[in-house]
Structure 1
Amino acid sequence: MKKANLLIFLLLPLFCLAQSFKLKGKIASETTPLEWADVSISNSEGKIIDGTTSKQEGSFEITIKKGSYKIGISLLGFTDYEKEFTIENDTDLGTLILKENTTNLTEVVIQSRKNTIEQKIDRLVYNPENNVTTAGGDALSAINTAPGVVVQNNAINILGKGTSRVMIDGRMIELTGEELNNFLKSISASDIKNIEIISNPPAKYEAEGAGGLINIVMKKGARDSWKNTTTASYDQNKYGIYALRNNFFYNKNKFRFSASVNGKAGYRNITEALDMYFAEGPSKMKAETKLNEENVSGKIALDYDFSEKTTLGFQILKDKSNPDFDSDIRIDNYNAQNKLNNYIINESFLDRKTDNQTYNLHLITKLDSLNRKVSFDVDYFDYNSKFDRDFIANNYAADGSFVDVNQSGRNLSNQDIDNLSFKADMEHPLEAINLSYGAKVSFTNSKSDVVFYNTITGTPELDANQTNQFKYTENNQAVYISGDKKINEKWNFKLGLRLENTQTKGFSETLNQETQNNYFKLFPTFYTSYHKNENNSFSLNYGRRIRRPNFSLLNPFRVYISSNSYSEGNPFLKPSFSDNFEFAHTYKEILKTSIFLNSITDGYGVIFTANPETLTQIVSRENYFKGINYGIGETYSANFADWWQSENSLYFLGSDIKFIKDINATPVNGLQVDFSTNNTFSLGKATKLQIDFNYTTPYKSGLYDTGYAASLNIGFKQDLLNKAMQVSVLVNDIFNTSYLKEDVSIVNNVRQVYSQNESNRFARLSVVYNFGNKKINVSQRNFGNEEEKNRAR
C-alpha cells in the first residue's frame, strides 16, 4: 500500500482529475469471439467521444465519466450493433452478439480499408496488408512501405529521427545493420498484422534507439481453428533468388501453437564506386560483388492458459545464413593531369557464416477483476559470426603489363555475443490513473577476434600488429514507471520515467588495454493529446533516448575492405543521447501535420578518412558531432474513388550539425525533401493494382553531401480459389534510381565520392496459398508470441 501511495504521489498532477469509470465487455458472433471490431461511445447529443477496437478474445475496455451514453459496434461482415446505457460505477456489459451480414460486401470492404494508418497517442499504426507490393515479400520490404520510414544502406530510419531499433510484438530484436536486415528478410510480409512506428517510445521500452522504435505486430490464428500459409516467390535482378516460407497456426481451447520455416537461396549483385581526389591525382575504385543470399530460419511458439487468469508460454527462434561473396575490384590511379598512372586488380573471396538463436519464456497473470496484470520474461540470445576472407591485389602499368603483387592477405574474424535478461512488468490501473511499472536486468558478453596473415610471399605469415582478441561485457539495470489518464472527452495525458544504470568493460588482449564506462541516466517521456472536435485533434510529445555503439565497432583492430581501404573499431566510443520533441495536428483522420526536432549530444558515426601520403582510406568511428535535426511532415490518406485508395507523405527536413572533434573537415548542412505516394486500385473483387513512387532530393547533413534517390514500383495481385490463393507480380525500382549515389565527404582536404547499388531493381513472382479450418477469419488474426529480446549490435 505504501508503494502504491508513493507512485501516486510521483504522478500527482494526473490525479487532480474528474472521476471516471471503466466500461468493458466482449464482442462475439454466434460461435466465436470477434477481434478488431470498432467500438464507439456517443454522448446524449449523438457525438462520438471515445472509441477502441476489440482484442483477440473479443474484449474491450474504455474509461469514461459518469453519465448516459450509446455504444456502437461495427465489423466487416456483421450488422452494426447499438445499445444505450448509463454508467455510475465500473460496468461490465457482458458478451454482445453481432449477427452476420452478407449483403453489400464490396462497399464494406472498401470502407474497412480506410484504417490503413491509425494515429495513437504515442505511435503511428500502419497496416501493410492492402499494399500489393508487399505480397510475397518479407518484413524488410513491408517496413519500407510504411509512411515516414526509409530503408537504405543497411539502415532503417524514421525520417528526421535517425536509425531505429526494431521489435517484434514488443520484444527487441538483438541485431542491427546488415544482420538485422537479413533477419527481417526471413519473415514473411503476409504474416504481419501491422507495423507500429514509435518515434518517441514510452518508458516501458528500452531507451536504446535514438531514431525511435519500429514494432512489427504479427498475426495469430483465430480461436478454435488452424491455418497454414505457404508462400513461394522468385526475384530476378542480375541473378535470381528463390524463397519458400511456410507458417502454421493452431488455436484450440487453452492451447495456442505456431511454427514457421523459411528458406531462401540465390544471389544478389552489389556494385560500388569510390573516387578519392588527391593532390597527386584521383584514385577511382569500382567493385562488383556477387553476394550469396542463402538463409534458413525457423520459429516455434507455444502458449497455454492454465486458467482464465494465467498464461505460460515459450518461444524458440533460429536463423542461419551463409552470406559468402566473390568481389572483383579495380582501382585506377591517375596523375595530376588526369592521365592513368597504373591500376590495381583486387580479387576477394569471403566465406562467412552467421548463426543466431533466441529463447523466450514468459508468464502473464491477471491479479483481479480490475485488470491488474503482471508479466515476467526471461530471454536468452546467442549470436555467432565467422568469416574468412582471402584477397590478392595485383599492380599493373597503364599499358596493362603486370608490375608486381601490391598486397595479398587473409583476414579471419569470429564474433560471439551472449545475452541473458530478466524482465517484470506490472499494469496497475487505479481509480484516477492507469499505472504501469517494471524492471529489467540484462547481462551481455561479447568475444571477437581478428587474425591477419600476410600471404604476399605465398606462405601465410601471421601479422601480430593486425591481430587481436577483444572481450566486452555490458550489464544494464533498469526500472520504469508510467501513468496515463483520460481527463475528459478532449484531453489525454501520459507521463513516464525510465532509469538505466549501465556498466561496460572492454579488454584488448593483444594491446593489454582495458576501457571501462559506467553511467546512470534518466529518460523521461511525456505525451498529451487534445481532441478539439470531430475534425481536429492535436498532440505533443517528448522523449529522451540513447544510442549505444554496436559491439563490433568497439574492437580496435582493422578489417580490410580492399588493398587500399580498411575499417577499424574504437574501444573509446561512447553512447550518444538525443532529446526528441514532436507536435502534430490531425484533420478528419486523413491529414496529419507534424513538426519535430531532435537534439543530439556526443553523436558518433563513420568517418571516411583519406590519407594523402599513403593514398589509402581508413573507415573509422568517432564521437565527433552534436547538433539538431528538424522538420515538418504531412501525411494524407484518401479514397479518391471506390476503387482508388491513396496514402501520401511529404517531409521537409533540415539539420544543423557541428563538429566537437577535430577531424580536419567542415560540417555541411542543408534541407531535404522526401515525397512518397502509395496507390491501390481495385480492378474487381479479386484484382488489385499497386503503383508506388518515392523521391528524396539531394541533401547535406554533417559530414556528408548525398545525392537524390527515387523509386517507382508497380505490383499486381490476383485472388484465386475464393481467396485461398493469391498470385502477385511486382516490378520494383523500375528505373534503378533508389540506390545510394554521390555520397560526398571531404576529410584532410581530400574529396571522396561513394556510391552503392544493392540491386533494388528486380521483378518478383509470388504465390501464396492458405488452407485450414474455414472458421478462421484472416483479417482478425493477431500472431503475437515474441517480446523484447535484448539488444545486440
Structure 2
Amino acid sequence: MKTIILYALLSLPLWASSQIQFKGNVTGNHEPVIWANVILTNPEGKVAAGTLTREDGSFEMKVNSGSYHIKISYLGFTAWEKNISIEKDTDLGSIELQKNKDLNEVRIVAQKKTIEYKTDRLIFNVANSISASGGYALNAISATPGVIVQNNTISILGKGASRVMVDGRMIELTGDELMNYLNSIAASDIASIEVMNNPAAKYEASGNGGLLNIILKKGVRDSWKNSTALSYDQSTYSFFTLRDNFLYNKNNLKFSLNAGGKIGSVQETEGLNTYYPNGLWALNRVGKQKQDNLSGGFILDYDISNRITAGIQYSGSQNSPDSKDLTVIKIRNTGNQIDSLLMNDGSNNLSNASQTYHAHVITKLDTSGKKISVDLDYFTYNSKIDNNFVTKSFLPDMTFLNISQSARNIAAQDINNYSIKVDMENPLKFLNLSYGTKLSFINSKADISYYNTSTGDAILDASRSSTFEYKENNQAIYINGNKNINSKLSLQLGLRLENIQTSGYSGTLNQKTLNSYLKLFPTVYLFYKENVNHNFLLNYGRRVNRPVFRDLNPFRSYINSKSYSEGNPFLQPSYHDNFDFIYIYKGNLRTNLFFNITSDGFGIIFNSDPRTNTQVISRKNYFKEYYYGLGESYTINILSWWQSQNMAYLLGSKSIFNTMVNAIPKNSAQLYLTSNNTFSLSSSTKLQADYAYSSSVKRGLYETGQLSGLNIGIKQALLKDKLQLSLLVNDVFNNAYLKDYTSVVNAVRQVYSQNNSSRFFRFSLTYSFGNDQISIKQRSPGNEEERKRTN
C-alpha cells in the first residue's frame, strides 16, 4: 500500500490540462499590490476571464488560446492595459503600476474582519482584538476563537494539544517553557494567528491537535519603525512589562532588533480533594510566582542578488519564575471530621534559558517560482530547579505533632538540537509540486538530586536521585502536489515519511531503552467551489504524538510527602487519523463536521493508593478514542459599527481503556460557544466584548466542570494612531478557570481545580514612530520537530 501511495504522488507531474496557464506579478511603488483587478476581454469586448492578485501580488488563471485585451487596475494607480496573444503558457513577469498623478493624496483604511475563514484554516486578526492589546503572544492565542489555553497546554477545539509556529517556524517547547517563550513575543508585533486543524505534509507530522501559526507583521521597502510598549497587569499581585522593537528595511538589507522584560508576580491557587475509603484528604495550595523575564533577538536578511537571499537569526530568553507556596492538607475521617493537618511550606528557585541560532539561503532558480531553500538550526535549552520544602503534621487545634518530611530537590536539564532542512518549490505546467527533506539530532540530559534535610544537614538520598539521558534522530522526506482539475475542483495530495531512532538511558537504574520506527503520514485535500456562495472542503491527515522528554524519565520527582511524579521510558507514540468536512456559505457561515481516531493514546494518570494514601502521577499508553463533533461559525455585521463573530460546537467521544489503568471510561456530549463583538464607537475608539462558554463534559478518564468567561476592553488611538491606549478586564466574573477536573482510578475519586489569576485588569500603552508599516519578515528555520518537547 505504501508503494502505491508513493507511486501515485511521484506521478503527480503527469497530470494533464487542456487549458493554458496565464500568470504574472503586480507591484506598485516596488511593493506587491494586493487585490488588484486582472481582467481579460476577447475581441468582442466580453469578459473572458478575471481574477484578483494574491498577497504577494501574483495572479494566475487558466485560459483558452486566442487574442485578448488585459487590464490591471487598482484604486490610486493608473490602469495597465495591453493587447496580447496567448498561444502557450505565458508569464508576464513583474508589472509595475504607476501612481495616478491626477489624484490628490488618498488614504484608504480597509478594516479586516477579526475572524476570517479560509478553506483549510481560520484566521484571527490580532490587531482588531483589544483582548490581545498590550499583552503577549499567549494573550493573543487565548483570545483566538476555538483555541483553549489550560493547564499550560494549548489546544484547538475538537483536536487536542496543538503545535505552535511563528511565521512557519515550529516552536519545539511545551508546558511552562512554551508559555515563557510565547510571553516573550509582543502581541503588537502579530498580524494574525492561523488555526490549522489538519496541516499539510510539508509540516511536521508530530502533534495530534493541529497547528497554530503566528504571523508577524510585514511592511514596505525603504522604511523603518520603532515601537515601544508598556503594560501593567493587576490581579492579586501585579507585574509590569516593557518591550521595544526596531525594524529597518532599506535596499537589500532587512533588519529587526527586539528586547524586553517583565517584572512582578501572580498568584497561583490549586485545590485537590481525594476521597480515600478512610476519609477525605482536602488539599489547598496558594502560591506567589515571579514573572521576571528578559528576552531579545535580531533578524538580518540580505539580498545578495535578485535571485539569492541569505539571512541569520538569533533569539534568546532568560526566565526566573521563583515561587513560594503554602500547601495545606486537611485529613478527615469517615465521619467527615478533621483528624489532622499536613502543612507543606515550599520555596522554589527556578531559572531557565533558551537560545536559537538560525541561518538560511534561498535561491530562486527561474522566473516561474521555482526555488530551493536551505535552513541550518541550533537550539539549546537549559533549566535549573532548587526546591526546598518542609511538611509538618498538626492536630485539628494546630498542636504540632512532627515533621513528616523535610527535603531539598535540585534538578537540571540541558537540551541541544541540531537540524538541517532543504525545501524545493517546483511549479510545473500541470501542477504545483513541492518536496523536501530534514535531518534532526536531539540530545537531552536531566538529573535530580534529593537531599534529606530533616536533621538540619542536607544528606544526599541516592535512592531518590537520578540521571537520565535521551537521544533522538529523525530523518524525514515529504512530497506535496496540488492540482486545479477544473475551474471548480482542486485536489492536493501529500505524503511524509519519517524514520526515528530513540535511546533513553537511566544512569541510576542502569536501564537503557531503544526504539525505532519508520512511518508514513499521508494528507488529502479535496476542494470544490460550486460558485461564490458555496464552497466545500474534504480533508484527511494522519499525525503522530510523541512523548515529551520529561515523560520518558523513569525516576520519581517528589511534590510533597504524599505525592510524587514518575515518567515511563517505555511510552510509545500515539497515532491520529483526522477527517474533516467543511462547508462555507458566502464566506460568513462555516459548517465543520469532524471525526478523529486516536490509537495507542497516552496520558497522565493520577493514581491514588488507598492503602498508603499516596498519590502517584504516572504516564501510560492506556486508551483508544473516537472523537467527533459538529460546529457552526457565523460572522455578521449587525450594524455598521457592530461586527460579531460567533461559534457553536456540539462535541462527543467514545473511549476504550486497556488493562494499564484500573478505571471505567466515561463520555458525554459537550456544548462550546463563543461570541466576539467589536463596537466601533468612533474612528479612533473601539470597544470589545468577548464571551466563551463550555458545558461540563466527561471524556475518557476525566470529567471537567463548566467554564465561562467574559472579557471587556476598550482601545483609544491618539496622535494620528501613533499612540494606542488599551484597558482590559479579563474574565470579569472569575469563572474561566479549571474546576471540577475529576477522575476515578482504583476506585478513588479525585477532584482538582486551578486558578492562576484568571481575572485581571490590564492597562497598556504603545507608542510607535517612524514608518507606519513593519517590514521585517521572520524566516522559518528547520528545527521544526524538537523544540516543543523540551520540558
Fold shared, TM-score > 0.5 on shorter chain: yes
**Distance (Å, rounded) in 2 between the aligned partners of 1:470 and 1:154:** 24
1:507–1:295 CA distance, 2 compared to 1 (3 A): same
Aligned to 2:139, the other structure's residue is in SS state: helix
* 1:72-221 to 2 correspondences below 5 Å: 74=74, 78=76, 87-88=86-87, 89-92=89-92, 94-97=94-97, 99=99, 109=109, 112-114=111-113, 116-120=115-119, 122-221=120-219
With 606-615 and 93-102 compared, the bigger mean Cα shift is at 93-102
* 1:398-437 to 2 correspondences below 5 Å: 398-437=396-435
Q: Deviations over 1:299-348 (max 9, x none)?
A: 11100000000000010010110011001000000000101000011101
Q: How much has 1:460 moved relative to structure 2? A: 1.8
Q: How much has 1:561 moved relative to structure 2? A: 1.9
Matching residue of 2:54: 53
The question of whether the paired residues in 2 share the 8 Å contact of 1:220 and 1:249 is answered with no
**Distance (Å, rounded) in 2 between the aligned partners of 1:24 and 1:748:** 66
**Distance (Å, rounded) in 2 between the aligned partners of 1:603 and 1:650:** 27
Q: How much has 1:193 moved relative to structure 2? A: 1.5
1:38–1:355 CA distance, 2 compared to 1 (3 A): farther
**Distance (Å, rounded) in 2 between the aligned partners of 1:177 and 1:14:** 46
Q: Which amino acid aligns with 2:127?
A: E
**Distance (Å, rounded) in 1 between the aligned partners of 2:425 and 2:131:** 38
1:167–1:239 CA distance, 2 compared to 1 (3 A): same
**Distance (Å, rounded) in 2 between the aligned partners of 1:747 and 1:69:** 74
**Distance (Å, rounded) in 1 between the aligned partners of 2:727 and 2:644:** 20
* 1:587-598 to 2 correspondences below 5 Å: 587-598=585-596
The question of whether the paired residues in 1 share the 8 Å contact of 2:41 and 2:49 is answered with yes
Q: Deviations over 1:152-192 (max 9, x none)?
A: 11111111110001111111112111110111011111111
Root-mean-square deviation (Å): 2.1
**Distance (Å, rounded) in 2 between the aligned partners of 1:601 and 1:259:** 45
The question of whether the paired residues in 2 share the 8 Å contact of 1:217 and 1:783 is answered with no
**Distance (Å, rounded) in 1 between the aligned partners of 2:8 and 2:663:** 52
Matching residue of 2:674: 676
**Aligned-residue identity in percent:** 46
With 522-531 and 35-44 compared, the bigger mean Cα shift is at 35-44
**Distance (Å, rounded) in 2 between the aligned partners of 1:42 and 1:627:** 52
Segments of structure 1 that go 5 or more residues without pairing to the other structure are: 1-5
The question of whether the paired residues in 2 share the 8 Å contact of 1:469 and 1:508 is answered with yes
Matching residue of 1:610: 608
**Distance (Å, rounded) in 2 between the aligned partners of 1:47 and 1:277:** 74
**Distance (Å, rounded) in 2 between the aligned partners of 1:457 and 1:22:** 82
**Distance (Å, rounded) in 2 between the aligned partners of 1:544 and 1:297:** 36
**Distance (Å, rounded) in 2 between the aligned partners of 1:749 and 1:72:** 72
The question of whether the paired residues in 2 share the 8 Å contact of 1:546 and 1:575 is answered with yes
Task: Say if 2:513 is the partner of 1:518.
Answer: no
**Distance (Å, rounded) in 1 between the aligned partners of 2:98 and 2:117:** 24
Task: Say if 2:393 is the partner of 1:395.
Answer: yes
Q: Which amino acid aligns with 1:119?
A: K
* 1:699-738 to 2 correspondences below 5 Å: 699-738=697-736
Aligned to 1:129, the other structure's residue is in SS state: helix
Q: How much has 1:43 moved relative to structure 2? A: 7.9
Matching residue of 2:745: 747
Task: Say if 2:551 is the partner of 1:549.
Answer: no
**Distance (Å, rounded) in 1 between the aligned partners of 2:715 and 2:83:** 45
Q: Which amino acid aligns with 1:17?
A: S
Q: How much has 1:430 moved relative to structure 2? A: 0.7
**Distance (Å, rounded) in 1 between the aligned partners of 2:346 and 2:246:** 41
The question of whether the paired residues in 1 share the 8 Å contact of 2:112 and 2:125 is answered with no
With 38-47 and 417-426 compared, the bigger mean Cα shift is at 38-47
The question of whether the paired residues in 1 share the 8 Å contact of 2:256 and 2:776 is answered with no
1:80–1:134 CA distance, 2 compared to 1 (3 A): farther
Number of equivalences: 773
Aligned to 2:131, the other structure's residue is in SS state: helix
The question of whether the paired residues in 1 share the 8 Å contact of 2:266 and 2:290 is answered with yes
Task: Say if 2:786 is the partner of 1:789.
Answer: no
**Distance (Å, rounded) in 1 between the aligned partners of 2:94 and 2:397:** 87
Q: How much has 1:80 moved relative to structure 2? A: 9.3
The question of whether the paired residues in 2 share the 8 Å contact of 1:426 and 1:437 is answered with yes
With 441-450 and 651-660 compared, the bigger mean Cα shift is at 651-660
Q: Which amino acid aligns with 1:53?
A: R
The question of whether the paired residues in 2 share the 8 Å contact of 1:711 and 1:735 is answered with yes
Matching residue of 1:371: 369
**Distance (Å, rounded) in 2 between the aligned partners of 1:429 and 1:466:** 58
Matching residue of 1:345: 343
**Distance (Å, rounded) in 1 between the aligned partners of 2:53 and 2:717:** 31
**Distance (Å, rounded) in 2 between the aligned partners of 1:752 and 1:716:** 41
Q: How much has 1:137 moved relative to structure 2? A: 1.1
Q: Which amino acid aligns with 1:753?
A: V
The question of whether the paired residues in 1 share the 8 Å contact of 2:223 and 2:249 is answered with yes
Q: How much has 1:649 moved relative to structure 2? A: 1.0
Aligned to 1:638, the other structure's residue is in SS state: strand
Q: How much has 1:63 moved relative to structure 2? A: 4.0
**Distance (Å, rounded) in 2 between the aligned partners of 1:750 and 1:716:** 47
Q: How much has 1:360 moved relative to structure 2? A: 0.5
The question of whether the paired residues in 2 share the 8 Å contact of 1:270 and 1:288 is answered with yes
Matching residue of 2:332: 334
Q: Deviations over 1:392-437 (max 9, x none)?
A: 0000011210000011111111100000000000001110111100
1:512–1:532 CA distance, 2 compared to 1 (3 A): same
**Distance (Å, rounded) in 2 between the aligned partners of 1:758 and 1:169:** 29
**Distance (Å, rounded) in 2 between the aligned partners of 1:51 and 1:527:** 23
Q: Which amino acid aligns with 1:10?
A: L
Q: Deviations over 1:336-370 (max 9, x none)?
A: 01010000111011001101100110000000122
Matching residue of 2:24: 24
1:303–1:278 CA distance, 2 compared to 1 (3 A): same
Q: How much has 1:115 moved relative to structure 2? A: 7.1
Matching residue of 2:259: 261
Aligned to 2:148, the other structure's residue is in SS state: strand
Matching residue of 2:3: none
Q: Deviations over 1:134-153 (max 9, x none)?
A: 11111111112223211111
User: TM-score, with normalisation over the residues of structure 2?
Assistant: 0.94
* 1:274-285 to 2 correspondences below 5 Å: 274-285=272-283
The question of whether the paired residues in 1 share the 8 Å contact of 2:35 and 2:55 is answered with yes
**Distance (Å, rounded) in 1 between the aligned partners of 2:537 and 2:665:** 34
* 1:455-474 to 2 correspondences below 5 Å: 455-474=453-472
**Distance (Å, rounded) in 1 between the aligned partners of 2:597 and 2:98:** 50
**Distance (Å, rounded) in 2 between the aligned partners of 1:74 and 1:616:** 70
* 1:586-665 to 2 correspondences below 5 Å: 586-665=584-663
**Distance (Å, rounded) in 2 between the aligned partners of 1:39 and 1:210:** 40
Aligned to 1:132, the other structure's residue is in SS state: coil
Q: How much has 1:39 moved relative to structure 2? A: 5.2
Q: How much has 1:9 moved relative to structure 2? A: 7.0
**Distance (Å, rounded) in 2 between the aligned partners of 1:83 and 1:688:** 41
Aligned to 2:538, the other structure's residue is in SS state: strand
Q: Which amino acid aligns with 2:118?
A: Q
1:533–1:609 CA distance, 2 compared to 1 (3 A): same
Task: Say if 2:253 is the partner of 1:252.
Answer: no
Q: Deviations over 1:191-242 (max 9, x none)?
A: 1122111111111111011111111111134200110111000000111110
The question of whether the paired residues in 2 share the 8 Å contact of 1:168 and 1:788 is answered with no
**Distance (Å, rounded) in 2 between the aligned partners of 1:660 and 1:80:** 69
Segments of structure 2 that go 5 or more residues without pairing to the other structure are: 1-5
Q: How much has 1:33 moved relative to structure 2? A: 1.6
The question of whether the paired residues in 1 share the 8 Å contact of 2:169 and 2:781 is answered with yes
Q: How much has 1:72 moved relative to structure 2? A: 6.0
Matching residue of 1:3: none
The question of whether the paired residues in 2 share the 8 Å contact of 1:473 and 1:505 is answered with yes
Q: Which amino acid aligns with 1:553?
A: D
**Distance (Å, rounded) in 1 between the aligned partners of 2:7 and 2:371:** 17
Q: Deviations over 1:614-673 (max 9, x none)?
A: 112111111111111111111111212221111111111111111123311001111111
1:467–1:20 CA distance, 2 compared to 1 (3 A): farther
